Amino acid sequence: MINKPFVRRSIPWLYLAAWLLWMWWRWNTAPPVSVDIPETIHLGQWVLAHNRFPNHLHWVWGVPQGKWLAVGWEAGSAVVFAVAYQVGFWGLFVLWAASQLLAIKLTQLAIRWAGYAPSLGALVGMALLLSIFQPLVAAMWVIPGVAFLMYDAAIITTGHSRFKHHLAYGAVLGAWAWLSPSVIIAPILTVVLILFWPSKIQSRPWALLVLRAAIWPVAAVMTIPHPLSWMSAVLRYVSGGVTPKTPWPSVTTLLHPNLSWTALPNLIWFSLLVLALLQGARLRKPHLLWWAILIPLSLLNWKEAYYTPLSLWALTALIAFMGPIKFQSRALSLFLPLVPIVFLVLIAIKDINTPVRMTASRIFPRYTWYRQMSARFPSGRIWVPLTEGGIFTMATGRSTWLDNRMQIWDAYPTFYARSAALATGRAPLGPWLDQHHVVAVLWPERPLQARQLTLAGWIAVAHGPGSYQLWVPRTEHPHR
């Protein structure tokens, strides 16, 4: 005879096991690594080696000794490098999975503290969406951070806050200030709390809310070595000041490589929004406070693709607040618990034939090729696409034409626009290559580049992963 309570208690653990196995399989088949990670590792290595943040641009040779402007996740870069260096690329996988698991658990706790029963289905959907759309990146702590703020709001609005919880709030905000400028969400959420406080529960504890508003800037100033520079970084990112005037083709291609990163997330977002509205109209819950927190976060999806994971998390969190979705079909409700079991079996069978190669060359297919090609070049500069600069530098230790695009977008828009014009074929290339002593070009096949390089007297002599080509001057052949 089946023990039904035991089965019900086992279902969440089955889903967790299925999700972890899915994450492991996904990482080994198509590692969800942001294009920023090589640059992040390089920056983090420098920060730990010198025990300080940089003061000038060490890697952008087009603007030597240019002033460094804080980007807000220098310390997060150091964390990523430390994990990669001490544990290896397995460590990066654990970091990636742990950030998502933390966000899901904090969301579940927030819903429970707010007095609701979280929907398991919505939490499972949240886990699946984050695993698909949240890449490994130094600033990936925004979702766990916002989930913690929601958890904190649930505790203080129900009057269960304690002194140790206030200490935890300060510690989390201080750590978040190190890891990402997205900590600016904290004071914004405090304002939302004031405006939409659930008055039926208790009156607003003004002293507590003022403390919440004061902790985040104090924590930031105490933890960031250059607080004014860091605050400037926050304001630049919030205002959109780092958006390049001349779009970079390889960056936009990597952000939107196929249907799954353009139409599909928007379709998922729209479907979740409709479901949240329908469920909200039918159940008339949760409290307006949670709508006021989560709906604006979900609207960030329409600002840029970078916020897609946060937006999808916000909508699934809102749906999770509303409790289980009732299915009319008894057969369907009986079948759903079998889904994780079937999934576990199928993925386990697939994993038998899936080689585990969590290495730099596996995550970055051009890593080994860059190292092999670079060893044959004479002294001088190598020109690679903007998004590949960090990979090339990490693999070879050699400078590339550009290796910190955020700094260039932010501090040197003129240089950035001129370089982008060269890369997109809108400016003469030959004189620029001579002026900067470029000895090789490693670039994906692109007709405009091929024409310009041919006119400049260059020739393609090798091909690598991802349709990349190696171009060298006709008079300098690396294979002779």
Q: How high is the mean pLDDT in each 10-residue block of the chain (480 residues)?
A: 59 83 83 81 83 76 71 79 86 92 96 90 91 87 93 87 82 81 82 81 73 70 61 67 54 42 78 89 83 92 82 95 68 65 74 68 87 87 82 82 64 74 80 87 86 91 90 71
Reported as type and span, the H/E element at residue 458 is strand 458-464
pLDDT at 258: 44
Strands 438-444 and 381-383: parallel
What three-state secondary structure class fits 68? coil
Contact between residue 405 and residue 386 where contact means Cβ atoms under 8 Å apart: yes
Q: Kindly report the number of other CB atoms within 10 A of residue 62's CB atom.
A: 17
Specify the residue for token string 């935890």: 168
What three-state secondary structure class fits 438? strand
The CA-atom distances, in angstroms, between 30 and each of 167, 235, 464 are 40, 35, 19
The CA-atom distances, in angstroms, between 21 and each of 105, 346, 473 are 18, 11, 49
pLDDT at 332: 55
Nearest residue to 390 via CA among 376, 379, 400: 400
Measured between alpha carbons, how far is 424 from 286 in angstroms, rounded to an integer? Answer: 50
Reported as type and span, the H/E element at residue 442 is strand 438-444
The CA-atom distances, in angstroms, between 47 and each of 74, 390, 472 are 8, 15, 34
Longest dimension (CA), the chain: 82
pLDDT at 57: 74
pLDDT at 101: 96
pTM: 0.84
